[in-house]
Amino acid sequence: MANRIYLCLAHMSEAGLEQKYIQEAFDTNWVAPLGPNVNGFEEDLKAFVGQGKEVVALTTGTAAVHLSLIACGVEPGDEVITQSFTFCASAHPVTYLGATPVFVDSEKETWNMDPDLLEEAIKDRIAKTGKKPKVIMPVALYGMPYQIDRILEIANRYDIPVIEDAAEGFGSRYDGQVLGTFGRYGILSFNGNKMITTSGGGALICPNKEEGDRVMWYATQARESYPYYQHETIGYNYRMSNICAGIGRGQMTIVNEHIAHHQHVHQLYVELFSKIDGIEVHSQPANGRYASNYWLTSITIDENLKIKGQENAYKEIITSPVGGVPAVIHAASSARTDCQPNDNVEALRMALEKAGIESRPLWKPMHKQPVYCRTNEKLGMRNEELSHGIIRQTSATSVAYVNGVSENIFKKGMCLPAGPWVKDEDVKRIVETIKANII
């Protein structure tokens, strides 16, 4: 670990409180998807997010997305609006339920859901289908808060519930309020690379105890209150284990330190890159309303900036670990796709990898993912120009309202290490390595 700089690796509490809670679980034989640590972790989370919300600890953030959609009544044939510029876990649970994701592109300032495009999408879906979308789900990309005030105003006007995907935005705030507490439900993730970790895990922020209990019922196989197992509704095995929750309890003692560290690292990147032409650090709007946790620091690279080895970009199909995946087990058919980062971005990623520094491309927009661009013989792929440069893209598996912002950022952006293990000297080495590879 000392020689390689990782993108975002979890850090345990200095006092080893994680081990204390884990040992208690073993000593009391609470090695199960329930127990004192689960209850304690949920209480810690409730205190942290505030606003009188209930919190249910779950196995993953993806499970939280799935259950929040169920709680909002999403069924086969419904449509769910979500952000195109996001990780696939924001969209896949929509398809689990037989619903259709409607992807909305980003605005340039925060890289998150464009409120103007959101309203255009709602009006167009009503005109095309005769009914409004069932849910709106903005995403806190890399921890950056979305324009939640405008999104809520639009959502309330059309009476559509909002689920906040704050999986990357744990501890980020808008107007001083924690993300995930504005909408009807809020998604949290505690994966191994998040702001805090339970090794794997997530949580769903619920509006009140009644809704929290209903979500917990779904998460524990929807068992009815009989002395034997009776099920009248399909449930899921999504409850967090007492062991994982023990890790979370220890992590909650240092969560504010983690957030402060990420913010400090981001500011150091800003200062160091200010002396290098052609590279910009993505930062929050300077109006005082946004407080990003800066889970990852993202940069954009001018397409005209030349990087050493750029001529070798995308020459070989990847076979080594990428993006935290232990191994590539489904080999790609070609090294290039129709939508990918620019050659200078890939060349810089390879140069950093060679120097023992992990970096990563930005999330590829969902409306450019092959799984959501599938065609069939009757429908095929359709692109229709609407107004103000908006394109409606329709496939057999999704609908998208596109303005070109996320595709443009994806092509020129990348993420740099920012986790608790990243020290000031590491940031300086990363920036110097990038500088040394610019021609």
How far is residue 169's CA from residue 142's CA, in Å, rounded to a whole number?
7
Q: In the predicted model, what is the mean pLDDT of residues 56-80?
A: 98
Please give the single-letter amino acid code of residue 104: V
Which comes out higher in pLDDT, residue 15 or 34?
Answer: 34
| Tokens linked to 104 | 């909305």
CATH class of segment(s) 256-373+404-436: alpha beta
Q: Where are the beta strands (DSSP E) in 168-260?
A: 173-174, 177-178, 185-189, 202-206
Domain 17-254, CATH class in plain words: alpha beta
Mean pLDDT score across all residues of the chain: 93
What is the distance between the alpha carbons of residues 401 and 397, in angstroms, rounded to a whole number?
A: 14
Amino acid symbol at 28? T
What is the per-residue pLDDT for 332?
82
Mean pLDDT across the stretch 218-222?
A: 97
pLDDT at 141 over 50: yes
Q: List, for residues 234-247, the tens digit of each pLDDT value.
A: 999 999 999 999 99
Q: List, for residues 289-303, the tens digit of each pLDDT value.
A: 999 999 999 999 999
Q: Which of 31-45, 215-229, 336-350 has the lowest mean pLDDT?
A: 31-45
Confidence of residue 11 (pLDDT cuts 50, 70, 90): confident
Q: Give mean pLDDT, residues 324-336.
A: 71
Query: Where on the phi/psi map is residue 182: left (φ > 0), alpha (ψ -120 to 50), or beta?
Result: alpha
Q: Is pLDDT at 217 greater than 90 in this prediction? A: yes
* pLDDT tens figures, 368-406: 999 998 765 455 568 898 888 898 999 989 999 999 999
Domains in the chain: boundaries = 17-254, 256-373+404-436
Q: Does the pLDDT of residue 321 top 80, yes or no?
A: no
Q: Would the CATH topology of 17-254 be identical to that of 256-373+404-436?
A: no
SS3 of residue 117 by DSSP: helix
Residues whose CB is less than 8 angstroms from the CB of residue 180 and which lie 6 or more positions away in sequence, other chains included = 49, 164, 166, 169, 170, 186, 187, 188, 205
Between the alpha carbon of residue 15 and those of residues 1, 11, 307, 367, 385, the distances in Å are: 21, 12, 44, 45, 58
Both structure tokens of 171: 């501890």
Residue 155 has pLDDT above 60, yes or no: yes
Per residue in 106-117, pLDDT tens? Answer: 999 999 999 999
pLDDT in tens, 186-213: 999 999 889 999 988 999 999 999 999 9
Which of 67, 72, 133 has the alpha carbon at shortest distance from 100?
133
Which pLDDT score is estimated for 325? Answer: 54
Confidence of residue 1 (pLDDT cuts 50, 70, 90): very low
* DSSP alpha helix (H) spans, 33-175: 36-49, 61-71, 92-96, 115-129, 148-158
Q: In the predicted model, what is the mean pLDDT of residues 355-367? A: 97
Report pLDDT digits (tens) over 90-99: 999 999 999 9
Query: How is residue 359 written in tokens?
Result: 């970096």
Helix spans in 196-342 (H):
209-219, 242-251, 255-273
Q: Cα separations (Å) of 241 from 178, 184, 238, 385?
A: 25, 25, 9, 49
pLDDT of residue 38 exceeding 80:
yes
Q: Supply the pLDDT for residue 326.
A: 56
Q: Rounded to an integer, what distance in angstroms lies between the CA atom of residue 103 and that of residue 399?
A: 6
Q: Rounded to whole angstroms, how far apart are CA atoms 261 and 11?
A: 12
